[in-house]
Amino acid sequence: MNRSFKSAFRYQVTDLLKSTAIFFVVMLALCAAVIIDAFSVSTSDSGFKIIGSSSFTGMGTASAICLFIFGITAPRSNLRLCTQLGVSRRSAFLSLLLSALAVSAALASAGEVLMGSLQHISIIHVRINFADLYQMIYVGSTSVTLRFAQHLNSALLVTCLLLCCFTCGVFLTLLFWRLNKGWRIVAAISIPFLINGVPALLYRFGVDMKPLFVWLGSRVYHLDLFLLLLTLALAAIEWLLLRHAYIRSPSSI
Amino acid sequence: MSIEVKNLTKVYGDTVALDRVSTTFGGDQIYGLLGNNGAGKTTLLSIISDRQCPTGGAVFVDGEPVQNNDSALGRIFMVGEQNLFPDNMRVHKGFDAAQLFYPGFDRAYAEAAAQKFGLNTKKKIKSLSTGYASIFRLILGLSVSTPYVIFDEPVLGLDAQHRDMFYRMLMERYGTHPATFILSTHLIAEVAGLIGHTVIIRGGRIIKDAPTESLTAEAYSVSGPANKVDGYLVGKNVLSVNTLGGLKTASVQGQPESCLPEGLELSQLNLQDYFISLMEEESKNE
């Protein structure tokens, strides 16, 4: 790793971590609201009664949306800054992905610690439910809390998901960066069609996607692998989009 | 130790922005890159700094290809017309970033220069006026201490006092930290005294690449009554002619004779006059 790469990584990871910290504070506030709601009490003639019942299962999903948005917003400004400060586009791009990996792992781990802690509240208060993606897909409702190994699996799954969502965001932003006005309109129309239309067309032409989903749902590592392969494929396309891009001010595009 | 540009070509659709351009920048000199609008100056400089890719040819920095090469790119700092800093970044954060990426960045000098220019370092870069945005980038260029610093239209939006300050600071910095500086500008008269080597580009081709002194010594100006000037110009390589009333001034390529006909006045061409004459001659030939 050369000096430019390290500097680019340090700058980008700090930039992403600042935004991630704000997101995490919001998540903490949401969890606090869930707990307050569940513990809310009412006094009536019959006495003192707990009226709340709450659940929070969206940490992983919300984090994925957050990283997707970072993937859309971060690359252009970071690549411009790196170019201004003498970093090659290859180093800028790779350090961006490495920063995203570091931030994804940090957010997934922090989320896991938060969920693990909150799940202990679920033990003492049955009307609160805290769970995340791994638990909902691979563990089910049989267990309120997770074992350490399950927490590790959950963190790994969320890390892979966040990284994949980040690269999806990067792909979209680079695609729209490189396309001219006409092709941008074509892409804007095509993307929703591809997302919704292709599965429908596959179904119509008899391509059965069920075995894939069964395979993905059978073990968490299958889903991890699938997300990583998707991330690598997107990253390869992104590099093709970026390697000859003219890096310039947004006002001159 | 130089930036070598070899057979650089850049084509946009039907337009050839650079046509097999080859030149060298080095030797800790101050270069002037001159050319009309659309000549290809910014394209050349943006390819040197790897902001865009060439259609053909290559750029080498101290023997290393510049494309996707951190080591080569880390030795160049380009002060462009455009702001590539994030919209929400403040000036002092911009200095922080430069310090992070360039270990040789002279923070104390940058802070002092900002104070000298009256640049508020707490302001967001995006909210700076055109002139102050240029000043911010100029300060970075003067503070980075890289072996090659490129200024593309450095004094855009600067008033006369600030332009003068910049030229003085550039010369001071050049004296204390010798480096290869490339100045691309339209304000030729203002930089003529600074640049030791001139590269003139037109229509994507380099038409002159020589020490400034030798370029201006290649031509001279003769003025006097129109009929006498006309007589003198017969058989000479005339670059340009200006007539005002009965007086005529002509720029002539070559060396003047030791004695001129009576009534005619001889003067050496300055760089701006030389440039204008050359452009007029090129226009006639096209």
State the CATH number of the domain containing residue B119: 3.40.50.300
Q: Taking the C-alpha atoms of B188, B191, B192 and B198 in order, what is their torsion angle to the nearest 10 degrees? A: -80
A42–chain B Cβ distance below 8 A for any pair: no
Mean pLDDT of A27-46: 75
B146–chain A Cβ distance below 8 A for any pair: yes
pLDDT tens for A63-92 read: 999 999 999 999 999 999 999 999 999 999
CA distance A11 to chain B (A): 8
Mean pLDDT of B132-156: 93
Chain B residue with CA closest to A251: the answer is B82
CA distance B280 to chain A (A): 31
Chain A residue with CA closest to B88: the answer is A77
CB atoms inside a 10 Å sphere around CB A155: 24
Q: What is the pLDDT of residue A50?
A: 57
pLDDT tens for B63-96 read: 999 999 999 999 999 998 888 898 889 999 999 9
A248 CB neighbours in chain B (<8 A) are 46, 51-52, 82, 84
State yes or no: pLDDT of A42 exceeds 60: no
Q: What is the pLDDT of residue A98?
A: 96
Q: What percent of chain B has pLDDT over 70?
A: 100
Q: What is the pLDDT of residue B233?
A: 85
* Buried b or exposed e, range A60-93, using 16+ CB within 10 angstroms: beebbebbbebbbebbbbbbbbbbbbbbbbbbbb
State the CATH number of the domain containing residue B226: 3.30.70
Beta-bridge partner residues of B206: B201
ipTM for the whole complex: 0.86
pLDDT tens for B182-241 read: 999 999 989 888 999 999 999 999 998 999 988 888 888 889 888 888 888 888 888 888
Q: What is the pLDDT of residue A53?
A: 67
> Which two tokens mark A103?
């931030």
Q: What is the pLDDT of residue A175?
A: 93
Q: What percent of chain A has pLDDT over 70?
A: 90
Which of B158, B189, B211 terminates a domain? The answer is: B211
CA distance B151 to chain A (A): 13
Mean pLDDT of all residues in chain A?
88
A2 CB neighbours in chain B (<8 A) are 70-71
Q: If pLDDT is split at 50, 70 and 90, which confidence band does A44 have?
A: low
CA distance B123 to chain A (A): 18
- Its domain, for residue B124, covers 2-211
pLDDT tens for B9-54 read: 999 988 999 999 999 998 899 999 999 998 999 999 999 999 999 9
Q: Are residues B113 and B222 in the same domain?
A: no
B225–chain A Cβ distance below 8 A for any pair: no
A83 CB neighbours in chain B (<8 A) are 49-51, 84
Q: Please answer yes or no on whether A84 and B78 come within 8 Å at the CB atom.
A: yes
CB atoms inside a 10 Å sphere around CB A28: 12
H or E element, residue A131: none
Q: What is the pLDDT of residue A49?
A: 57
B49 CB neighbours in chain A (<8 A) are 83
B64: amino acid identity, one letter: E
H-state helical runs in B49-87: 70-73
Q: Torsions phi, psi of A41, nearest 5?
A: -125, 160
Tell which of A5, A88, A177, A253 to mutate to test the B interface (max B CBs under 10 Å). A88
Q: Are residues B136 and B278 in the same domain?
A: no
3-class DSSP state of B129 = coil
Q: Please answer yes or no on whether B50 and A77 come within 8 Å at the CB atom.
A: no
Tell me which of A41 and A202 has the higher pLDDT: A202
pTM of the predicted model as reported, rounded to 2 decimal places: 0.87
Q: What is the pLDDT of residue A158?
A: 96
How many domains does the structure of chain B reveal? 2
State yes or no: pLDDT of B275 exceeds 80: yes
Q: If pLDDT is split at 50, 70 and 90, which confidence band does A199 have?
A: confident
Q: Are residues B159 and B240 in the same domain?
A: no
Q: Torsions phi, psi of B8, nearest 5?
A: -75, 130
Q: Please answer yes or no on whether A4 and B74 come within 8 Å at the CB atom.
A: yes
Q: How many CA atoms lie within 13 A of B86 on its CB side?
A: 20
Which of B183, B211, B239 terminates a domain? The answer is: B211
| CB contacts < 8 A (A, B) | 84
Q: Are residues B87 and B174 in the same domain?
A: yes
Which of B211, B238, B266 terminates a domain? The answer is: B211
CA distance B147 to chain A (A): 12
pLDDT tens for A169-184 read: 999 999 999 998 999 9
Chain A residue with CA closest to B42: the answer is A248
